[in-house]
Chains A and B, each alone.
Chain A
Amino acid sequence: MSVKADAPEAASGKRLFIVRGSGALFGFRARIIEDAISIPVVNASLHGGLGPGYLSFFAEQLLRRGDVLLVIFEYPLLTGDTLVNDRATFVSWARRDGYWHTLDLSHQLRFFRSFTLRRLISLSRNPPREASRAGGSARGVLICSPSEVTFASTTT
């Protein structure tokens, strides 16, 4: 997730962001679009389980004036109320990104109600592992907290 948040900063000028859940993460090739339109294209998609509220919040942090945004939310994300869920709350807590400030009062209450005392102690002692556990395995690896993302190899 740190990679997702930091990499776009490197590109200057107009950029195109693809925002969605894992459907675009595993279903889109930003490079193909980039080669066609000659502006930096970033696949800013995360895990759909974070909910459209957190995905929108995350995308908003990346945008700069003049950018281009392609939104492709999966159908289950278009209905109901999943603004506050375990994944979003724990990832947001681990990243200290202030997501809860953007929620209305009833959702803020739900946000904090999801933290039991035991969970809070666990989070304060080991935020990365807790956030990763909330995110799940395989498809959730990109939502691990910043300290878990490693630049193991740089080939380009």
Chain B
Amino acid sequence: MFSVRGDLRVDDNLDVSDERRSNFAMDSRNLPARQPQLFLDPRSPNLQSILGLIDAAKHMVVTVYATWPAVRDHELYRESYKRLVDSLPLFYGQVDVPFIRLEKRGFIPSKYIYKTAFHLNSIGATQRTRFCRCAVCTDNLV
């Protein structure tokens, strides 16, 4: 277990420890916020840098997989990210990156969320990883 300043710790796999987030409860400060409508633009520098990573990985004979990021399951987020959620498997498919399809397409119930719309609490992290593990094992991805 490595201590990385303050009470935040990471284990041998560099996963964050549970000490801090296990006691966290959602409250009024965690109200979902409206996000701008986002869509994939192949010319955007951000997307180009990700494509660069995939190219470099393939050049090194590194097998690349992708999946949806975890997002709090809320109407506002579903609406904001709808186009990205739909287009992500197509995008990775175009560059021959196998896509791991998770239940609910990465949207996570609020009870598993820790602080922001993208962070999970300890139970949520375990459950989401188990879904991924099932996909990895079932499809023999690795």
Contacts and interface: CB of A to CB of B under 8 A. Distances in A.
Contacts of B97: 71
A30 interface: yes
| Majority DSSP secondary structure for residues of A touching B | mixed
Contacts of A59: 53
B124 interface: yes
Given A75-B38, A107-B45, A27 B14 contact: no
Nearest to A31: B13
| Majority DSSP secondary structure for residues of B touching A | mixed
Interface residues of B, number: 63
Contacts, number: 207
Given A149-B4, A153-B3, A30 B13 contact: yes
Contacts of B132: 28, 33, 70
A72 B47 contact: no
Interface in A115-156: 138-139, 141-142, 144, 148-156
Interface string B102-130: 00000000000010001110001110111
A31 to B, nearest CB: 5
A70 B66 contact: yes
- Range of interface residues on chain A? 35 or more
Given A31-B13, A76-B35, A79-B84, 11 more contacts: A16-B142, A29-B129, A70-B64, A70-B65, A70-B67, A71-B65, A78-B40, A78-B84, A81-B46, A83-B46, A156-B12
24 contacts: A3-B10, A4-B14, A26-B125, A27-B125, A27-B128, A28-B128, A28-B129, A29-B125, A30-B13, A30-B15, A32-B126, A33-B136, A37-B133, A52-B47, A53-B49, A63-B57, A67-B63, A78-B84, A79-B47, A80-B46, A81-B44, A83-B45, A155-B1, A156-B11
